[in-house]
Amino acid sequence: MAFPTQSPYLIIGAGIHGLSTAYHLALELKARGKGSGKDIIILDKGGIAAGATGIACGVIRNNYFQPAMRELMAHSVNIWESDPETYSYHPVGYMQISFEGMHADIASIYEQQKAIDYTSRFIEGEKDCTRYMRGLFDDWQAKNITSVLHEMPGGYANNTKAMYGLATKAEAEGVRIITGVTVTGFDEDNSNTIKAVRTDKGTIETDYVVIGAGPWAKQFWGMLNMPKTISIKSSQTGELAENVPMWTYWSLQEGTLGVDPKMQITNDGKMPPVIHVDTNAPLYSEHDGRLITDQLWGIYYKPDFHFDGIQGGAAPFIVDKPADDVAVDPYGPESPEFIVGEDFAEMWVSGLAHCQKRFEGTLAEYKTHEPSGGIGAFTPDSFPVFDTVRSNCYLIADSNHGYKMLGVGKLVAEDICGQTSSLLIPFRFSRYIEGKLHPVSNSPFPWS
Residues of the chain with pLDDT under 70: 320-342, 370-373, 444-448
Cα atoms found within 13 Å of the Cα of residue 275, Cβ hemisphere only: 25
Residue 439 lies in a domain: no
Question: Residue 12: which residues within 8 A CB-CB, separation 6 or more?
Answer: 18, 42, 43, 44, 183, 197, 209, 210, 211, 212, 213, 220
Output the pLDDT for position 205.
98
Task: Count how many domains the chain has.
Answer: 1
Helix (H, G, I), strand (E, B) or coil at 216: helix
> CA geometry: angle at 408 spanning 73 and 331, to 5°?
100
Residue 444 lies in a domain: no
- Eight-state DSSP code of residue 141: -
Output the pLDDT for position 251.
82
**40 strand-pairing partners:** 9
Residue 297 lies in a domain: yes
Residue 445 lies in a domain: no
Q: Above pLDDT 70, what percent of the chain?
A: 93
Output the pLDDT for position 253.
86
Contact 59, 406 (CB under 8 A): no
Output the pLDDT for position 337.
45
Best CA proximity match to 71, nearest among 412, 408, 431, 387:
408
The C-alpha atoms of residue 367 and residue 38 are separated, in whole angstroms, by 43
Residue 448 lies in a domain: no
The C-alpha atoms of residue 333 and residue 313 are separated, in whole angstroms, by 24
Output the pLDDT for position 324.
46
Output the pLDDT for position 336.
42
The C-alpha atoms of residue 152 and residue 175 are separated, in whole angstroms, by 34
Output the pLDDT for position 236.
86
The predicted model scores a pTM of 0.92
Output the pLDDT for position 213.
94
Output the pLDDT for position 317.
80
Q: Find the CATH number of the domain harbouring 164.
A: 3.50.50.60
User: What is the domain range of residue 378?
Assistant: 6-434
Contact 125, 146 (CB under 8 A): yes
The C-alpha atoms of residue 352 and residue 358 are separated, in whole angstroms, by 9
Contact 213, 12 (CB under 8 A): yes
